[in-house]
Amino acid sequence: MSGAKLKAELPGGPPSSPPRPRRASWLLAVGCVALFAFFQFAARFPFSFRHMCGLEPASPAGICPQSTSIAPEKNAALWNELTALHSTDAFLKRAAAQLSAAVQIPTETYDAMGPVGEDPRWESRGPFVEHLATAFPLVHGALDLQKVNTYGLVYTWQGSDASLKPILLMGHYDVVPVAPLSADQWTHPAYSGHFDGEYIWGRGSTDDKSGVIGILTAIEVLLEKNFAPTRTVVLSFGFDEEASGYHGAAYLADALLERFGRNAFAMIVDEGAGFDEQFGAIFAAPGVAEKGYVDVTVQVQTPGGHSSIPPEHTSIGILAAMIVHLENTAPPPVLEVGTPPFDMAQCFAAHGPEMPRPLKRAILRAEKSKHALKKAEQTLLRDRAFRALVATTQPVDIVNGGVKSNALPEQAMAVINHRISTQNSVNATISRDRDVLLDLAAHFNLSVTAYGESLTSAEDAAAASGSLTLTAPGGLEPAPITSSTAAPYHILAGTIRATLNATYGEEMKDVFVTPGMMTGNTDTRWMWDLSEHIFRYGHWNGGLGMIHTVNERMEAHSFVGVITFITTLILNVDETAF
């Protein structure tokens, strides 16, 4: 009832209430005084006391502390000049034209490409490398360029102080192919590089030619202003990241290790997620970790024959049962304290004003309460994307079997793609697949060979109705987790905040930076020996929803922000000893 309505009803007055007993009035007065005193006491007491009494969630103090915004000081005048330049319409058009030209050169990567020099599909990289030389003349005049395995590019911008460890900025210029069946679904052709005044359209505009062109554009403009670095800046551009970098980043890593040595770089920054709104606040999430990776091939072999005389289960039927069993017994995701997804959730809770109060309370209490951790886990894991960060995933991505409709399939196979959680391992993952399938192998009377080891006696193998073979070539362990308390992280976080403030002004005054991670892998998988401080960060606005799909595009203002970020980072590390 509103106060106005209450006052309107007072003159006539409601029926008189019977007088309240004096004892009741006394008790009410005492209760009010006690309640007032309690709240005064609670207000003076430690925050944890009020949390314990249920008055408010646990204190965010000490949870996801924020680095201060770091803008160049020694190079303040240059930085102010460049950020002003970047804000002009003329520079936006210049940057868009550079990215557009790069997108127009197809550099598609396919699975299982042969060695460079033998597989002609690598030759698509040649025109792109030639284009860079003409598009960035100052870079190619001032920086040393080393070509690795023909198309891998290492640029070195030599600094004046050899005692400072260099930084390594990474990117890749290859792209995933455009599916022929989807070519006509693009608003603008996939390799048009069309700029409509707002977006640059085309394959690679986000992943990751924007990273490569953004770095080169930033350095080209710094050279135009006669900037000479104190700290050496090294660039490494791969050409087959979309096929795990075996011909590109793997060779680049060896070349960098041979030239600079182990742990030679103060920090490494490669592609990654950018910044976006979460729970009513803007969060940037530089990746401090990556999940592991392994493909497990499950192959079932059974006798062939005419399909008019079938057994109870064919190899395809047996494989189907195994796939269903694997999916029904998937490893349960567990949110663990101290993991990057947990740290990110805590940051959202500490700084996201629109996070639902029960979830905020659970996350902020989770570090000291198993009950709260479980409650937070149950809520957070409902989100498919967050669940994928936490879990060891196991989608079945390839299935093959049979050769003819009237011939029993002698073999059937499936490939299970695992992305391994940060607290898991390759061996534990493939061992679990083996253990899950052993009972079914026994049920179907199959001999078992798992990862090169026979698990069936010779006698039982002779009596078996078929065989089950598991293989897992290669495999990548989860990446070492980069510290979010060391100087490189704070410099990166402070640079992100300064860049967003400079680019967006008051709109980004309260941006927060949280340690993050992606579900996929980058070329940094090959660089672990080069630095203990590896970050995956793209500094573009939005999630990863537009990559590897129809209508991939980069918002032009966001791309200019990438250039401003790289500029700010180079200037910041140049005047910071770490």
| Eight-state DSSP code of residue 568 | H
**pLDDT, tens digit, 9 for 90 and up, residues 390-420:** 999 999 999 999 999 999 999 999 999 999 9
- Using pLDDT thresholds of 50, 70 and 90, give the confidence band for residue 51: very low
- Using pLDDT thresholds of 50, 70 and 90, give the confidence band for residue 10: very low
Angle at 564 between CA 529 and CA 578, to 5 degrees: 40
**pLDDT, tens digit, 9 for 90 and up, residues 208-243:** 999 999 999 999 999 999 999 999 999 999 999 999
Handedness of CA 415, 419, 423, 425 (dihedral sign): positive
Residue 141: its pLDDT value, please? Answer: 98
Mean pLDDT is lowest, of 5-19, 232-246, 341-355, 555-569, for: 5-19
Residue 42: its pLDDT value, please? Answer: 39
Tell me the mean pLDDT in the region 481-501: 96
For residue 52, is pLDDT > 80? no
**On the CB side of 540, how many CA atoms lie within 13 Å of its CA?**
29
- Using pLDDT thresholds of 50, 70 and 90, give the confidence band for residue 503: confident
> Is 48 in contact with 59 (CB distance < 8 Å)?
yes
CA 168 to chain centre: 19
For residue 26, is pLDDT > 50? no
- Using pLDDT thresholds of 50, 70 and 90, give the confidence band for residue 15: very low
Tell me the mean pLDDT in the region 17-34: 41
Detail the residues annotated as belonging to a binding site for Zn(2+). 172, 207, 242, 270, 548
Residue 12: its pLDDT value, please? Answer: 35
Please indicate whether residue 540 or residue 269 has the higher confidence score (pLDDT).
269
Residue 27: its pLDDT value, please? Answer: 40
> Is 535 in contact with 187 (CB distance < 8 Å)?
no
Q: Which two tokens stand for residue 170?
A: 């990474």
For residue 77, is pLDDT > 90? yes
**pLDDT, tens digit, 9 for 90 and up, residues 290-307:** 999 999 999 999 999 999
Tell me the mean pLDDT in the region 114-131: 98
- Using pLDDT thresholds of 50, 70 and 90, give the confidence band for residue 510: confident
Rg of the chain over all Cα atoms, to the nearest angstrom: 30
Q: Which two tokens stand for residue 413?
A: 């196979």
Mean pLDDT is lowest, of 17-21, 180-184, 252-256, 478-482, for: 17-21
> Is 279 in contact with 60 (CB distance < 8 Å)?
no
**CA 420/CA 473 separation, integer angstroms:** 15
Residue ranges of domains in the chain, CATH in brackets: 76-288+479-574 (3.40.630.10), 292-331+392-478 (3.30.70.360), 335-387 (no CATH)
For the chain, percent of residues with pLDDT exceeding 90: 84
Residue 544: its pLDDT value, please? Answer: 57
Tell me the mean pLDDT in the region 564-574: 98
Q: Which two tokens stand for residue 256?
A: 């960098």
**On the CB side of 241, how many CA atoms lie within 13 Å of its CA?**
28
**CA 99/CA 192 separation, integer angstroms:** 11
Mean pLDDT across the chain: 90
Active site residues: 174, 241
**CA 379/CA 345 separation, integer angstroms:** 11
**CA 530/CA 249 separation, integer angstroms:** 13
**pLDDT, tens digit, 9 for 90 and up, residues 444-480:** 999 999 999 999 999 999 999 999 999 999 899 999 9
Tell me the mean pLDDT in the region 13-33: 40
Detail the residues annotated as belonging to a binding site. 172, 207, 242, 270, 548
**pLDDT, tens digit, 9 for 90 and up, residues 308-356:** 999 999 999 999 999 999 999 999 999 999 999 999 999 999 999 999 9
Q: Which two tokens stand for residue 451?
A: 């990862």
Instruction: Tell me the residue type at 125.
Output: R
Q: Which two tokens stand for residue 541?
A: 């606005």
**pLDDT, tens digit, 9 for 90 and up, residues 513-549:** 999 998 889 999 999 999 999 999 999 886 555 788 8
- Using pLDDT thresholds of 50, 70 and 90, give the confidence band for residue 280: very high
For residue 35, is pLDDT > 70? no
- Using pLDDT thresholds of 50, 70 and 90, give the confidence band for residue 61: low
**CA 282/CA 509 separation, integer angstroms:** 9
Residue 295: its pLDDT value, please? Answer: 97
pTM tops 0.85: yes
> Is 64 in contact with 514 (CB distance < 8 Å)?
yes
DSSP string, 248-311: THHHHHHHHHHHH-TT--SEEEE----EEEETTEEEE--EEEE-EEEEEEEEEE----BTTS--
Produce one character per residue of 285-319: b if its CB has 16 or more CB atoms within 10 Å, e if not: bbbbbbbbbbbbebbbbbeeeeeeeeeebbbbbbb
> Is 381 in contact with 335 (CB distance < 8 Å)?
yes
Query: Which residues pair with residue 516 across a beta bridge?
Result: 287
Residue 62: its pLDDT value, please? Answer: 83
**CA 55/CA 57 separation, integer angstroms:** 7
Residue 545: its pLDDT value, please? Answer: 55
**CA 249/CA 152 separation, integer angstroms:** 7
